């Protein structure tokens, strides 16, 4: 099924719709270039080298770059809005009162210090009162929305019945970011383990444990046992492996030793007909661990997890201990981020769409949404054209691919229907209580969806988030308001850089529907095979080449990229760049692009792409991301996609001997 004619014609529409009538700007930061590095050798450093040398990472950040600058801008805007609301005498129970009270309470560290552990005592008392493993199962259920637990239920569209929400179960419960932090012999992980054990000791000591050293040892040993059973992040990317629906009695039989019925009942999921168990072997190992590990150890574990999860809203000693581990040891931070920025991010989790309504009214005028709609339509049409030109895909699969693309849903800026926070109680001077009630309020909202039809109007991000996503079960691409800003989109700039930045980001999200996991879902969002065997084999072979390419990159000495973990994002980067370039060339309508700042349109396109990934990262954070992140580090996102782009090579005239030269026959062309 082809896209409508108007979408194809829209490709000739200029993106610089709001540009000044005078001379167009390039949209590039020429001062950040490094003339000592040729684009043919390193596009990323050619476009960003001077900026990298001269820009320190702020003391309170693990990394810095365009995305972080834009997130800071969004946070500053939210801060301004919230402080305005906080200064008003809003009616009790109104959204304005709740936003203001939440923010004021979060910022009142003196009141938090005075409260001590009192706000947490009801939950600590429940932990202390545990007498049986059945009571343990029920408490783990009640803790949803408040604390990390070894098994984490969720409710989302059933992958093979995407119109219905189904309860799902995921592995969890680790205090460190990933299983590798517990199991790897690498020196950097070993240092993190030492810091974590010290943090556990501090939490238990401050929490009143009689033997914090012994308790920390027991808790760490329990977590390590859980980590040994955790699936790897590569395995967790496989939607077929992680789709294991079963009735609760069947789960109890497959994973004996844990009272699953009591757990789900206490987690507000008492009548689920079945649950999708994402990691069955982990569920079995977890249940066996519950049976074999003494109850006192579980009580220590729950206490440590609850204190850790609440530490930002506990007295200063807890906050300092948390920063020493999570800030310094894990991320390499020199100082904490400003308290107000923590507050805005906590507010996003608690009342995000309420804040988003105010944000959109102030900062996202209708014309911004119209520009974004034009951008998305242009990129979808370019993708449709690209599918027609694939040489590795047969006509039957190609028809299904076009049909899926034609069914994409676009969500831009903000949701059509805002969430109702009427029943959420927010009080002045009760920071931790507000967070507890907000966490439970959100979990209860999620739990109520089980067994009900999927609400396709729902958003997973708030408008003030600088991010975007593709949801395979809804076959939708979603772009919150806050991402349509410089450096990704600049209405005063020429089209080339806008296509290279926001255009490639849009193309990236579109491409996720056709990456190694997204391509397993059809146009209705159902997990099913719509490929011929030959076409899937050809696609997998191209993916294998991309895995091999990225496996060679070494962001940290001794730490190479995991090409399998990052494959989906690398496919989306490569395809997004290719599609954005085609869309840019088509937008010229056969006319030559203007030369601006001595640069051709094609040069500006690729330099805009490289500057969109401008960033610096601390080594500790780099290790963290290499372990948990499905995205490649930014410099390899910029160069790794460009090196496979025919347009890059023709634009910069690469030749043998150039570090980024890649013979035409070796370039990886997917979508």
DSSP of 375-407: HHHHHHHHHHHHHHT-SSS-HHHHHHHHHHHHT
Cβ(641)–Cβ(574) below 8 Å? yes
C-alpha distances in Å from residue 633, one per residue of 307, 477, 554: 32, 23, 10
165 forms bridges with which residues in the sheet?
157
Contact 105, 427 (CB under 8 A): yes
Contacts of 594 (CB under 8 A, 6+ apart): 24, 494, 601
3-state secondary structure of 87: coil
Please identify which residue in the block is written with the tokens 């009695």.
Answer: 249
What residues contact residue 336 under an 8 Å CB cut-off, 6+ apart?
A: 60, 323, 327
SS3 content of the chain, % helix, strand, coil (to 5): 55, 10, 35
Nearest to 99 by CA among 89, 113, 86: 86
Residue 371: its pLDDT value, please? 83
Task: Give me the DSSP letters along 134-181.
Answer: HHHHHHHHHTTTTS--SEEEEEEEETTEEEEEEEEEEE---SSSSTHH
* 493 SS3 class: strand
The secondary structure of 3-70 as a DSSP string is: PPHHHHHGGGS-S-TT--SSPPB----GGG--TTS-TTT-HHHHHHHHHHHH-PPPTT-SEEEHHHHH
Q: How many CA atoms lie within 13 A of 419 on its CB side?
A: 22
**What whole-number distance in Å separates Cα of residue 479 and Cα of residue 464?**
10
For residue range 556-577, list pLDDT tens digits in order. 999 999 999 999 999 999 999 9
User: Got the DSSP string for 278-298?
Assistant: S-HHHHHHHHHHHHHS-HHHH
- Which residues share a beta bridge with 295? none
What is the rounded CA–CA span in Å between residue 81 and residue 79?
A: 5
E strand segments, 403-559: 409-413, 469-471, 476-480
pLDDT at 19: 39
Q: How many residues does the chain have?
A: 671
In this predicted structure, what is the pLDDT of residue 529? 97
Q: Cα separation of 314 and 517, whole Å? A: 41
pLDDT at 87: 84
* Helix H or strand E segment including 435: helix 431-447
> pLDDT tens, 20-44?
435 678 899 999 999 999 999 999 9
Which of 449, 286, 426, 384 lies closest to 582, judged by CA? 384
pLDDT of residue 15: 37
Tokens of 277: 């168990």
Predicted TM-score (pTM) of the model is 0.93
Q: How far is CA 304 from CA 172, 200, 210, 215, 398, in A?
A: 15, 7, 13, 9, 53
Beta-carbon contacts of 53 under 8 Å, excluding residues fewer than 6 positions away, are: 34
Tell me the per-residue pLDDT of 597-651, one tens digit each, with 9 for 90 and over.
Answer: 999 999 999 999 999 999 999 999 999 999 999 999 999 999 999 999 999 999 9
Name the 3-class secondary structure at 333: coil
Which of 283, 272, 278, 267 has the alpha carbon at shortest distance from 248? 272
Provide the pLDDT for residue 457. 97
Q: Considering Cα of 442, then 446, then 449, then 454, what sign does the dihedral take? A: positive
Output b/e per residue, 80-106; b: 16+ Cβ within 10 A.
Answer: ebbeebbeeebeeeebbbbbbbbbbbb
Max CA-CA distance within the chain?
78
- Name the β-bridge partners of 152: 170
Q: Where are the beta strands (DSSP E) in 526-634?
A: 615-617
C-alpha–C-alpha distance, residues 650 and 670, integer Å: 19
What is the 8-class DSSP label of residue 617? E
Starting at the edge strand found earlier in the chain, the sheet holding 409-413 runs 409-413, 476-480, 469-471
Res 518: pLDDT: 97
CA distances, 475 to each of 417, 482, 577 (Å):
19, 22, 21
* Distance separating alpha carbons of residues 58 and 50, to the nearest angstrom: 17
**Using an 8 Å Cβ cutoff, are 175 and 156 in contact?**
no
Q: 480 and 464 in contact (C-beta within 8 Å)?
A: yes
Q: How far is CA 382 from CA 371, 408, 488, in A?
A: 17, 14, 19
Question: pLDDT averaged over consecutive 10-residue blocks of the chain (671 residues)?
Answer: 29 34 77 97 98 97 95 97 89 94 97 96 97 98 97 98 98 98 95 98 97 98 98 97 98 98 97 95 98 98 98 98 98 97 97 97 91 89 94 96 97 96 96 97 98 97 96 97 87 89 96 97 98 98 98 95 97 98 93 95 98 96 96 98 98 98 97 91
């Amino acid at each position: 099924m082809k896209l409508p004619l108007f979408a194809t014609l829209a490709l000739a529409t200029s993106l610089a719709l709001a540009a000044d009538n005078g001379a167009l700007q390039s949209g590039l930061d020429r001062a950040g270039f490094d003339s000592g590095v040729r684009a043919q050798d390193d596009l990323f450093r050619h476009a960003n080298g001077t900026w990298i040398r001269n820009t320190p990472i702020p003391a309170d950040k693990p990394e810095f770059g365009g995305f972080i600058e834009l997130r800071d801008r969004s946070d500053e805007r939210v801060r301004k809005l919230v402080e305005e609301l906080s200064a008003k005498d809003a009616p009790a129970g109104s959204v304005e009162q709740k936003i203001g009270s939440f923010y004021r309470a979060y910022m009142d560290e003196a009141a938090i210090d005075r409260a001590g552990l009192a706000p947490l005592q009801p939950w600590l008392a429940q932990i202390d009162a545990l007498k049986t493993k059945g009571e343990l199962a029920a408490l783990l259920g009640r803790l949803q929305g408040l604390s990390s637990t070894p098994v984490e239920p969720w409710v989302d569209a059933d992958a093979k019945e995407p119109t219905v929400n189904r309860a799902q179960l995921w592995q969890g419960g680790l205090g460190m970011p990933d299983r590798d932090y517990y199991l790897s012999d690498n020196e950097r992980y070993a240092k993190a383990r030492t810091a974590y054990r010290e943090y556990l000791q501090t939490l238990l000591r401050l929490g009143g444990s009689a033997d914090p050293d012994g308790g920390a040892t027991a808790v760490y040993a329990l977590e390590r046992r859980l980590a040994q059973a955790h699936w790897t992040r590569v395995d967790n990317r496989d939607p077929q492996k992680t789709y294991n629906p079963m009735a609760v009695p069947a789960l109890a039989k497959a994973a004996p030793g844990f009272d699953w019925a009591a757990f789900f009942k206490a987690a507000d999921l008492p009548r689920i007909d079945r649950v999708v168990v994402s990691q069955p072997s982990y569920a079995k190992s977890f249940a066996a661990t519950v049976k074999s590990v003494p109850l006192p150890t579980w009580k220590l574990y729950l206490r440590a997890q609850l204190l850790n999860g609440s530490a930002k809203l506990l007295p200063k000693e807890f906050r300092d201990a948390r920063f020493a581990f999570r800030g310094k040891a894990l991320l390499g931070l020199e100082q904490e981020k400003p308290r107000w920025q923590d507050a805005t991010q906590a507010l996003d989790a608690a009342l995000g769409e309420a804040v988003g309504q105010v944000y959109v009214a102030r900062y996202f005028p209708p014309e911004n949404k119209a520009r974004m709609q034009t951008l998305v339509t242009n990129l979808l049409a370019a993708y449709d054209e690209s599918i027609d030109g694939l040489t590795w895909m047969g006509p039957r699969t190609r028809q299904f691919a076009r049909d899926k693309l034609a069914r994409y849903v676009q969500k831009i800026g903000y949701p059509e229907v805002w969430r109702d926070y009427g029943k959420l109680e927010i009080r002045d001077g009760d920071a931790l209580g507000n967070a507890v009630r907000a966490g439970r309020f959100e979990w209860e909202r999620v739990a109520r969806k089980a067994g009900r039809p999927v609400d396709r109007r729902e958003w997973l991000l708030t408008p003030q988030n600088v991010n975007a996503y593709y949801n395979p079960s809804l076959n939708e691409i979603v772009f919150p308001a806050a991402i349509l800003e410089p450096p990704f989109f600049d209405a005063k700039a020429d089209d080339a850089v806008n296509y290279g930045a926001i255009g490639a980001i849009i193309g990236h999200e579109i491409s996720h529907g056709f990456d190694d996991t997204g391509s397993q879902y059809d146009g209705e969002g159902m997990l099913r095979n719509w490929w011929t065997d030959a076409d899937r084999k050809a696609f997998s072979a191209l993916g294998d080449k991309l895995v091999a390419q990225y496996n060679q990159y070494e962001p940290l000495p001794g730490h190479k990229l995991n090409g399998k973990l990052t494959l989906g994002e690398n496919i989306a980067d490569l395809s997004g760049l290719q599609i954005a370039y085609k869309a840019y060339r088509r937008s010229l309508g056969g006319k030559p692009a203007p030369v601006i700042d001595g640069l051709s349109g094609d040069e500006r396109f690729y330099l805009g792409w490289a500057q969109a990934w401008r960033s610096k990262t601390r080594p500790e954070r780099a290790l963290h991301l290499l372990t948990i992140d499905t995205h490649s580090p930014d410099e390899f996102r910029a160069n790794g996609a460009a090196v496979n782009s025919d347009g890059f090579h023709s634009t910069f005239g690469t030749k043998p001997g150039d570090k980024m030269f890649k013979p035409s026959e070796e370039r990886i062309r997917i979508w």
